[in-house]
Chains A and B, each alone.
Chain A
Amino acid sequence: MEFAVDQHVEQGVNIVKVSGEIDVFSSPRLREMLLDVIEKGPLRLVVDLGDVTFLDSTGLGVLVGIYHRLRARNGSMAFVGANERVRRVFHVTQLTKIFVLHDTLEEALAAEREDSRAGS
Chain B
Amino acid sequence: MPAEMPADTKAAVRDMVTVKLPADSAYLSVLRTATAGLAARLDFTLDEIEDLRIAVDEACAMLLAQAVPGTDLECQFELTGDAMRIAVSVLTVDGVEPSRDTFAWTVLSSLAGDVDSTVGADDRVTVMLRKRRGAAGAQ
Contact = CB atoms under 8 A, between A and B. Distances in A.
Interface residues of A, number: 16
A85 B49 CA distance: 11
A25 B102 contact: no
Interface residues of A, dominant DSSP: helix
Contacts of B102: 57
Interface residues of B, dominant DSSP: helix
Contacts of A21: 29
Interface in A47-105: 54, 56-58, 60-61, 85, 88-89, 91-93
Contact of B28 (A24, A88, A91, A92): A24
Interface string B84-120: 0000000000000000001110110011000000000
B61 A24 contact: yes
A56 B111 CA distance: 12
A56 B29 CA distance: 12
Interface in B25-39: 25-26, 28-29, 32
Interface of A: 21, 23-25, 54, 56-58, 60-61, 85, 88-89, 91-93
